[in-house]
Structure 1
Amino acid sequence: MRKENMHQSVEVIYKKVEDCSMVNSQLSFFQMVYVISGTGFLRINGNSILYQTGNLMLLTPNDYHTFDISTPTEFLLVKLNTEYVKEYRSKSIDHIECLLHYASHLSGCILKRKADEFLVRSIAESLIYAIDNKDIYDEDLISHYVNALIVIAARNIAVIKPSGVKVSADKRILEIINYIQGNILFPQKLKASAIAEKFDISETYIGSYFKNHCGETIQSFVSNYKIRLIEHRLSFSDMRINEIVAEFGFSDESHLNKFFKKHRNISLTGYRKAKVLPN
């Protein structure tokens, strides 16, 4: 097992693999993998996923993965260090780090919007040209292409419904979920009364409406989403516990620890230590 690190905030690599497997490795960064041509299997964290031409796949920090090549394959690898993703800002995507980190690996290709397949192919071709033909302002140009890929990945991940959401769920419930995820750091905005007012739904009805479509209460959904974010901070950042307390609006470390232990049956420090122990 090889641990992969990177020394720049963004790296773009073209790679052609004729046969056999790419080296089995564990990442310390985010990586988008675009399949220019070829077929095979992505084996990730014990799962096996078929890939083919036109697929865009996402690998996240600490993933164990290898590619088994069935037919000669051309890859475009876009590597992003965690700081780059954490500091990424846009007008409408507040929590891109979480969107990328919790994309479902079992879905394989993350492209769910047909129109985006053409966009990604065009961006991939432009990136390959830019790295092959060095010219003035290429670094800035590559950065813009990479950011476009990030936005496309984020909006495709966003349309993947959470597992509990019913197939028949209407558009408004997905908007409510997006609102909750976008305001997860602001407890006042997550109260049932605030959500009801935002979406013009009766406060007495919002609870049953959400549970009917999602299979869980608003409080449960908020808690589970918040727990996943806190797990991410503990696993992939060097944030102090008191910094996490402040970020998520808990009253003190004891309050956060009690909340975390209730859901994961382990303390914050215990969870963090377990994540850094060697396998």
Structure 2
Amino acid sequence: MDKIINKSVLIENLELNDANSKEPSVDFYFQIIIILEGTGTRYVNHTSICYEPNDIFVFTPNDCRTFYPLTNTNFKSVKFTKQFYNQLSNVSKLNLGAIEEKINLSNIKGRKIIYEGSHDAEIIQSLVEIIEKESNSSKYQQQNLENIILVILNVIYRNIEYFQDNLESNYPEKKINAIISFIEKNIANPEKIKIEAIAREFNYSKTYINQYFKKYTKFTLKKYVETYRIAIASNHLKHSNKNIKNIALELGYTDESHFNKAFKSATGYTPSQFKK
């Protein structure tokens, strides 16, 4: 784990796998997460969403959050310290406050940023790399760092506004969120999360809803359902006293054998191996 620490920002390159996933907790920082490698589920404030490489999430200080990795996950964490906030000008403090308020009031699923421009994710990652270089430079200047951070936050703000404006105009993300919420609500009911049932719920054909969902999430419905079930199962195995049979039944598997097969296919471990 690499760390870059100064008075204003903490940047960490972190790795997560099934063995070191943690219970959800509140981290009192304004934080940006950039997924570098891996897949799984990102949990925040009682909602969850699948993630993949190049996804970017943004969190405010009171968000309750964690990862449930499906595969080994590498990500970059950028945290802005209290001192960073204290050193800002009054105008910059107002800007940061507006960004935080916009995030909290928006309906962004799992705090995942939806981009207005195809290059905005690359811009954010490039600016974070500049922060890392600036922090290690002998010519490092605090004001330069803060200016770069404010640019990042303004790119995020613009994308949140874009998301919100289009959500109100029936932007597809609204429908995607509804489909995801339906899946999560009915995850223990196999009949309701079949493609036919989901298509019927949202008045689409089976073929169209699967293509539609994959276009905006990069997951087929079947893959999303299974990824979410495995993520929930992983959490139960690590952080509860439930036995494997009960976990399998709670998540809608026909029996423990089917659950064992699905879990090993997804993670490389049997549930009993994972639980140890």
Query: Whose relative contact order is higher, 1 or 2, with alpha carbons under 8 Å and at least 6 apart?
Result: 2
